[in-house]
Structure 1
Amino acid sequence: MSDPVLALDGVQKTYNQGRENEVAVLKGVDLSLAPGEVVALVAPSGAGKSTLLHIAGLLDTADAGSVRIGGQEMTRLSDRKRTAARRRDVGFVYQFHHLLPEFTALENVVLPQLANGVARGAAEARAETLLATVGLQGRAGHRPGALSGGEQQRVAFCRALANAPRLLLADEPTGNLDPATSDTVFEALMHLVRETGLSALIATHNLELAARMDRQLRMTDGHLDPA
């Protein structure tokens, strides 16, 4: 039986907000994400879902507990090794696309690969394939300002998967879009995830979108439970 792509065990996180004012955001979170599984993380604003995603994606550290990606313990790695693991294993998508405005859609997907040591020809070929997968083959030469909001977010999905991570973490990836565009963009995301076979943890307020994933988890009072 293969290792979970992501495994959290007893993860805790507390923030200090002034003298004698501590806020416990995560109170012992356990989570196991199987290869190829797409899981919805449902939680209201302020419940700690972004904190959880940042810890799972090695952007932040837990106060207690462990984080394993692909069976490898990440908790006690040096900053350099954590950064390398994040670049290799994790892709991020946020509510806002954060594309580089001076570069084309294709270039936005190529650049992370060049930073990871991929040759330009191979990087451009992969970028073209990813953009075609989400129906943007005819928009590859356009800069973000010439793309619609839904198109920009689809480029952001491709950029997150440019280096072929094993894990995708998405924080309200359709939250900035109107309902019709949100549905189209979500379908593109799911198609991309299924085509590449990676695992995904997707935070969303949208219960209809959550119901279309493999499993739903709800964050309540610092814990995760089946939704």
Structure 2
Amino acid sequence: MSDPALSLSGITKSYNTGKPNEINVLRGVDLTIAAGEVVALVAPSGAGKSTLLHIAGLLDTPDSGLVHVAGEDMTGRSDRRRTRVRRGDIGFIYQFHHLLPEFTALENIVLPQLANGIARPKAEDRARSLLAKVGIEARADHRPAALSGGEQQRVAFCRALANAPGLLLADEPTGNLDPSTSDQVFVTLMELVRDTGLSALIATHNLELAARMDRQIRLDAGQLVSV
């Protein structure tokens, strides 16, 4: 049996530590995501879902608890090792695409691969293949400003998958789109995830979209509960 894509155990996180107004955002979070499983994280704004995603994605560290990515315990790992795992094993998608405006769609997908040591011809081939999967290969040479909101987010999806990660973390990936475009883009995202066998933790306010995933969890008073 393969290791879980992500395992969180006893994760706690507080802000303003030591002060009377300390905010306990996460209070002993436990979560396991199996290989190939797509999990919806449902929580209102301010509940701590972004904090949880940042800890899962090694962008932040918990006050206590353990984070395992693909079976590797990341506790106490060097910044260099955490960066390597984050760059190669984890893909990130945000509500706003955060594409680099001075680069084309293709280049935005190529750049993270170059940073990971992939040769440019191979990186460009993979970028074109990913753009074809999401149906916008004809827009490869356009900069973000020339793309629609849905197209920009599709490029962001491709960038997140550029280095073939095993785990995808998404924070309101369709939250900045109108309902019709949101549905279309979500379908594209799920097709990408299923086609590549990715595991995913996707935060969303949209209960209809959440219901299409394998499992739903809710962040409530700093702890996770099944929906």
Overall identity of the aligned pairs, in %? 74
User: Residue 41 of structure 2 aligns to which amino acid in structure 1?
Assistant: L
Structure 2 residue aligned with 1:225:
225
For the pair 1:130 / 2:130, whether they are aligned, the reply is: yes
* CA shift for structure 1 position 20: 2.1
User: Residue 85 of structure 1 aligns to which amino acid in structure 2?
Assistant: V
**Structure 1 residue matching 2:68: 3-state secondary structure:** strand
1:56-205 pair list within 5 angstroms = 56-205=56-205
Deviations 1:28-65 (A, max 9, x none): 00000011111000000000000000000000000011
User: Residue 181 of structure 1 aligns to which amino acid in structure 2?
Assistant: T
**Structure 2 residue matching 1:218: 3-state secondary structure:** strand
Structure 2 residue aligned with 1:39:
39
Against the structure 1 CA distance between its residues 162 and 17, is the aligned structure 2 distance closer, same or farther, given a 3 Å change threshold? same
User: Residue 198 of structure 2 aligns to which amino acid in structure 1?
Assistant: L
**Structure 2 residue matching 1:111: 3-state secondary structure:** helix
Deviation beyond 4 Å, 4+ runs, structure 1: none
Tell me the TM-score normalized by structure 2. 0.98
User: Residue 104 of structure 2 aligns to which amino acid in structure 1?
Assistant: T
Tell me the TM-score normalized by structure 1. 0.98
Structure 2 residue aligned with 1:212:
212
Deviations 1:71-129 (A, max 9, x none): 10002101111111111111100000000111111110001001111000000000001
How many residue pairs get aligned? The number is 227
* CA shift for structure 1 position 3: 1.1
Cα separation, 2, equivalents of 1:77 and 1:17? 23
* CA shift for structure 1 position 18: 8.3
* CA shift for structure 1 position 196: 1.0
Cα separation, 2, equivalents of 1:42 and 1:190? 17
**Structure 1 residue matching 2:28: 3-state secondary structure:** strand
Cα separation, 2, equivalents of 1:208 and 1:76? 39
**Structure 2 residue matching 1:61: 3-state secondary structure:** coil
Cα separation, 2, equivalents of 1:19 and 1:223? 22
